[in-house]
Amino acid sequence: MGDASLPKPNILLAFSRELPALLYYELRKRFPGAEITSVTLEPGARIPSEIAKKASIIATYNNLPNPEDAKHIKLIHISSAGLDSIIHEPILTETDIPMTTSSGIHAPPVAEWAVLNWLAASRKFSTTYENQKKHVWGSHEQYGPGAQDHVGKKIGILGYGSIGRQIARVSVALGATVHAFTATPKPTPASRRDPHYFVPGTGDPEGTLPATWHHGIDKASLHTFLSLGLDHVVISLPLTPQTTHLLGAEEFAVLAAHKSAGHSRNPFLTNISRGKVINQDALIAALKKGELSGAALDVTEPEPLPADHPLWDAPNVQISPHISGVIEGYYLRSFDIIRVNLKRLRRGEPLVNAYKRGRGY
């Protein structure tokens, strides 16, 4: 499967909701030689045989064809960064049809969300907002104490994938230094490159931005990293058995004990990964004790976070409902990966963001 030429691909968009008309207009401009069709199905429903058999490329979230209807399909592209929701589907387990993900497209909006929260905390935006609602012109004394910029700040990024790399790019633009932590060592320029998709003009594809690189999967390595005197700790890791509750009371104490020299604030925590990477009870306690100066959380455990959960009222916490990657142009960026990979298919080159059967990602 997937070895024939693609003189005129038929791109099928299979989703559980209608996509905007403007999206089809843009896709026809980007794929001038392709036939673009669509089908709207219930979440997880199989693509009907008569529709699947006409397609050569499928873009979807979790609407997949039956394997017997997929013999002419050259590529299936998934609109999410991972394949968690379809990992046991027959199309993955019983065929070798190339599958690609949308990893990399989330980096710009998520990085902006992270820095938005940093600036809101460091420049006392909530005070400004409340004063504006009350028509109060605050004094310098109200805003000055504790206000900081990010020049010279140390940003520690746990997980240096596409999102971590774009956060690094923006951090360096603010005058901060970046320190990267990965599971495996990255000692050479080649090992520090990111081979996955990235939005042009963003990120750190060559891996040149970190001032220092650190690695490990054990507590000692993590604690060494957290002892660098970090102003910000960004969690940008996948959720695995090894990363579940990776940060808890012990880690927050290490951070507080080694806060950045010359800065009055304790470290600020940002989580755009998964809620379970953090021991949430320990996080609440660390915020109450002041071991952390604050936290920005786009993910929690559970989701949605119950209205009576104590995390809502923890001091200096900023919570959003897992929307840091949501933007209007999401699908257009996702489908740009198809454009890149169509060229690679024709040239017989390895695909960008290809799912590797047997590895689970």
Each residue's pLDDT tens digit, 43-79: 999 999 999 999 999 999 999 999 999 999 999 999 9
Residue type, 326: V
Least confident of 104-118, 135-149, 166-180: 135-149
pLDDT score for 87:
87
Is the distance from CB of 13 to CB of 36 less than 8 angstroms? yes
Residue 151 tokens read as: 């020049």
User: What is the rounded distance in angstroms from the CA atom of residue 318 to the CA atom of residue 297?
Assistant: 6
DSSP letters, 40-61, are E--TTPPPPHHHHTT-SEEEES
User: What is the rounded distance in angstroms from the CA atom of residue 158 to the CA atom of residue 174?
Assistant: 19
pLDDT in tens, 338-353: 999 999 999 999 999 9
Is the distance from CB of 40 to CB of 18 less than 8 angstroms? yes
Residue 171 tokens read as: 């951090």
Domain boundaries, the chain: 10-105+327-347, 107-319
Question: Does residue 350 sit in helix, strand or coil?
Answer: coil
Q: At a CB cut-off of 8 Å and minimum separation 6, what does 182 contact? A: 159, 160, 213, 214, 215
User: What is the rounded distance in angstroms from the CA atom of residue 321 to the CA atom of residue 312?
Assistant: 12
The residue assigned the tokens 């009870």 is 281
pLDDT score for 153:
96
Does pLDDT of 5 surpass 80? no
User: What is the rounded distance in angstroms from the CA atom of residue 249 to the CA atom of residue 357?
Assistant: 37
For the chain, give the percent of residues with pLDDT over 70. Answer: 96
Q: Could you please state the CATH topology (level 3) that the domain comprising 10-105+327-347 is classified under.
A: Rossmann fold (3.40.50)
Residue 188 tokens read as: 């050479």
* 3-state DSSP helix/strand/coil % of the chain, to nearest 5: 35, 15, 50
Does pLDDT of 169 surpass 70? yes
User: What is the rounded distance in angstroms from the CA atom of residue 52 to the CA atom of residue 301?
Assistant: 38
Average pLDDT of span 299-311: 97
**Strand ranges across the sheet with 177-182:** 212-215, 177-182, 154-158, 232-235, 268-271, 294-297, 317-319
Q: Could you please state the CATH topology (level 3) that the domain comprising 107-319 is classified under.
A: Rossmann fold (3.40.50)
pTM of the model: 0.90
Peptide bond into 304 cis (omega under 30): yes
Q: At 115, phi and psi to the nearest 5? A: -70, -35
Under DSSP, the state recorded for 354 is: B
Does pLDDT of 360 surpass 80? no
